[in-house]
Each structure stands twice: as C-alpha cells, then as structure tokens.
Amino acid sequence: MCTRKIRDSIMKIEKVSNTSVRRIDTNKREVLLEGSAHAYSYVDDSIVLLLQKAMTRKAIFIIKNQVISWIELKKEVLEDTSKKGKKLGYLLPNMVDETLEQVFKKDSTKIIFDYIKTKCHLKREEIAEKPEVFSDGLERLLGSGAPVIEKLILKNLHCKLGLKFREKKGYEFSDYIEELRKKCGCQNMKPCKIRLKAST
C-alpha cells in the first residue's frame, strides 16, 4: 500500500522539456504550452514574469498536480520567434484566434470568423495581408467594440514578439500591423493599401 501511494504521488509530477508558453490567462491563472491543448494552472503570481519570458524562449517546466511549480529558461531566444515566428502571416491569425476566444469563447469566435469570411471575403490566414479588410469586418459586426478587440489583439501580438505595445495617435489597426511588418523584417508579407468594402 505504501509503495502504491509513493508511485501515485510520483506519477502526478510531470516534466515538460524544450517547449514554450503559447498563452497566459492571468484571470483564470491558466497557461497553454506550445504543442499542447491542455491548460495548466499556477498559484504564485511571482511566476508570471517567468511565464512571459517563456513565450520567447524554450524552457523546462515541472508540473505537479497540473500546477506549474518550477520553470528553467533556456538562454537562447526561440528560433521561430526571431525568424519564422515573427512572420505575421503565421502569428497574427493565431493571436486573433486566441484573443477572440478570451473575450467571446470558442463558439462565438467561429461565428465572427465565418461572418468576416462570408461578408468580407477574407480567410483567417489572409488577415496579416489584408488587415484593413479584417478591421472593416470587425467594425461592421461589433461596432464601437471593435477598437477594444483590436487593441487586445495588438497587445497579445506585441507580447508574443517580445515587444511593448504603445498606442499612437492617429494609428489604425492596419498601421500597427504595417509597423510590425517592418520591424520584424517580414519580407514575405504583402502590404494591402486598398481599403476594401465589406459586402452587405
């Protein structure tokens, strides 16, 4: 019986190596790791800074009873964050997806994407190429709430890239995306200068 209890206790301790943090929900105190759909939790707020750093670096996580209790950061910055990860065509749709799910949950997020795809003829993977169209669709659907969602998306995107988001007077959603495109050297991204109208 004693051996079984020890074995059960050991099985509750999990070591996850060479991965990074995909998303942090500070309200729910939940963390998603890259390559996993499972949400882990944390109890100590002092660990948040390490978790944020682990969004741009690989790390080793010790998890006990589904709670992250220890993190060891790797020295080098993630290769996909400095190169592939900084391609807005890859990152922006994911950040839009995560932000919308944070605010509206999964079912409502699907409705929003379906609306933009149907009314604005914009696919999810085209958001970085045509941010003006995405912004138009969001405004048409959410009205005055659209700028709030756009700001949340931009904050999450900047955080993922290891940058600090600063609001700029006169800037629209597409202006921030264009600025990030230049900062990140996203050569494969084609800026969309034409503001398309969403169909009625």
Whether residue 174 is contained in a domain is answered as yes
Are 97 and 154 contained in the same domain? yes
Where among 52, 77, 102 does a domain terminate?
Answer: 77
104 and 32 assigned to the same domain: no
* pLDDT given at position 197: 40
Domain coverage including residue 33: 2-77
Q: What average pLDDT values come out for the chain (200 residues) when binned by 10 residues?
A: 50 84 83 84 86 85 91 70 54 87 87 92 88 94 93 89 86 91 55 38
Taking the C-alpha atoms of residue 39 and residue 169, their distance in angstroms, rounded to an integer, is 37
Q: Mark whether 124 and 152 lie in a shared domain.
A: yes
Residues 126 and 46 in one domain: no
Does 31 lie in the same domain as 118? no
Q: What's 103's domain CATH number? A: 1.10.1200.200
| HSE, side-chain direction, 13 A CA sphere, residue 37 | 0
Residues 110 and 162 in one domain: yes
